[in-house]
Structure 1
Amino acid sequence: MKFVSYRHQGASSFGVLLEEGIVDLPRRLAGAKDLASLLASPAQLDEARSLAASKADFALSDVALDPVIPRPGKVICVGINFVDHAAEAGRTVGKYPVIFQRYAESLVAHGAPLLRPRVSQQFDFEAELAVVIGKGGAHIAPEDAMDHVAGYTCFNDASVRDWQFHTHQYGMGKNFRATGSLGPWLVTADEIPDYRQLSVQGLLNGERLQQGRLADLAFDIPNLIAYVSQALDWQPGDILATGTPSGIGFKRKPPIFLQPGDTFEVAIPGVGTLSNPVADEG
């Protein structure tokens, strides 16, 4: 099953995505507020599944998509999590995962423009699989971690490279306005029996520049969920971005950076394709 968040006739909403359109859940489920709260309610999730056989309320083309979780409480990102990416970056995979945070306000939806900042020409791409948390918790054991996964979506952790390396902390280069994207939809975990069979690709103007297999993560999803949970409680709707494979722009010779007029896609067969044009910040 697929879920989407969107705006329809000026109002924010969310629903089940069918081949023929969208079943709008707030009009069908009493008390349904947003997708994150739906994921926290097993009873409402069961009702939503039963509504997947309903007639669509409107077409996908009738709505403007939002990031699939419009306001995640946490966006936890993992750096240097593919061995080949670590090698191209001149890094080695350490004993513990490299964790950094991204602010929700830096993310845009599928189809919305990524904005190259006024202050930098080094706007780079990072194709990733994102995990959407469905059940919260702290001190989660790795063997229990997948029970906390609601589903998967695509993520572009596009980065402002010169600002990323102003200091040894990544934060500023990862948090410019409208520089990352999340979507287009959430595919529920039951549709992906083994995430390790997935692959992630990054395509610039149709040319594949990145490709990696989720089986090649240095730190797998259960261990990442467990590790973070020792410090922070996971909440429904939180996002875990699992890291990008090799092929990023600034390590190419010559470097390739995103330019106005470009289109970058994150393609994960079985999950979806997240596509965004690039524009200069106004």
Structure 2
Amino acid sequence: MITVAFRKENGLALGVKTEKGILDVQAAVEQHPEWSGVPVSVSDLISGGEESKQALSRLADAVYHEDGFFHQENGLSFGPCVPEPSKIICVGLNYKKHADECNMAHPTSPILFSKFSNALAGHGEAVPLPPASEQVDYEAELAIVIGKQASRVTREEALSVVYGYCNANDVSARDLQFATSQWLLGKTCDKFCPIGPYLVSADEVGDPDNLRIRAFVNGEMRQNSSTSDMIFPCQEIISYISHHMTLYPGDVILTGTPEGVITGYPVEKRVWLKEGDEVTVEIEKLGRLTNTFVRY
């Protein structure tokens, strides 16, 4: 199942991607009270598991010929595809070639840091460049979305607690990030975590450790790799984190970025993101996430 979160007058609404367009779940349920048990929010869908997915699929089939419930994507204002995660956990230096381009040793255990909810943004949203930074960078990343409460899961069990996956851009203000030994300040500025446009359920993705991942700046390809280059694969990341903190449905884990980021360039060739730059993250089976950078 492929879903989105899009803006309506009363807040973010759940949409289902179909061949006809995006199904407005809330509108369909309001007109068909017999479907009142169907999830109408992203949070309800994720926490409801397979039962919620099946109910939503049946609704989409039942109303498919009612044109008024469907929207074209180019007419929607997207929100973050997972609007209310309790945690946004990120993994640093998790691609072999990225660590190499930064002249840093491959980590022996996952390097974790966090972003906060203020950093969330949707496909098409403008991302503000912080006034205090002159070194803003892009990072194309695969994001894992947790579907079940998980504590101390084994590697073998880990993928069974995943709801799905999405594109993410771990936007980073490098001068703020490296001003101290703690990366937080440069990682969680407002809208520094665009995710989406789609949340794709795990059954549609297959092996998350073998997906093509690319990033483009103003149409120029800057990153071109595969999640197979990750030092710690998805199941190891999930297991590791769950041994230190409980994961809950809707939690988002950013799994690291491949080579090709600006900070990996020689100093004399670094051209940081500027006003008007458009960055697109594209991961196989997950669509394209595009955001423009602005100064307010």
1:69 matched residue in structure 2:
82
Matches within 5 A, 1:110-125: 110-125=123-138
2:54 matched residue in structure 1:
46
Pair 123,197 (structure 1): closer, same or farther in 2 beyond 3 Å = same
Asked whether the 8 Å contact 2:136–2:272 carries over to 1, the reply is yes
Q: CA deviation at 1:250?
A: 2.1
Asked whether the 8 Å contact 2:25–2:40 carries over to 1, the reply is no
Matches within 5 A, 1:161-200: 161-200=174-213
In structure 2, the residue corresponding to 1:225 is in which secondary structure? Answer: helix
Matches within 5 A, 1:157-236: 157-236=170-249
Identity of aligned residues (%): 33
Pair 76,114 (structure 1): closer, same or farther in 2 beyond 3 Å = same
Higher normalized helix content (fraction of residues)? 2
Segments of structure 1 that go 5 or more residues without pairing to the other structure are none
CA distance in 2, matches of 1:99, 1:30: 40
1:30 matched residue in structure 2:
36
Asked whether the 8 Å contact 2:148–2:163 carries over to 1, the reply is yes
CA distance in 1, matches of 2:275, 2:36: 44
TM value normalised by structure 2: 0.91
TM value normalised by structure 1: 0.95
Q: CA deviation at 1:33?
A: 4.9
Asked whether the 8 Å contact 1:5–1:66 carries over to 2, the reply is yes
1:143 matched residue in structure 2:
156
The list of structure 1 runs, each at least 4 consecutive aligned residues, that deviate by more than 4 angstroms after superposition, is none
Equivalent position amino acid for 2:70 in 1 = F
Alignment: residue pair count: 281
Equivalent position amino acid for 2:60 in 1 = A
Asked whether the 8 Å contact 1:154–1:184 carries over to 2, the reply is yes
Equivalent position amino acid for 2:154 in 1 = A
Deviations 1:107-142 (A, max 9, x none): 211000111111111011101111111112111111
Q: CA deviation at 1:25?
A: 2.4
In structure 2, the residue corresponding to 1:40 is in which secondary structure? Answer: helix
CA distance in 1, matches of 2:98, 2:164: 25
1:265 matched residue in structure 2:
280
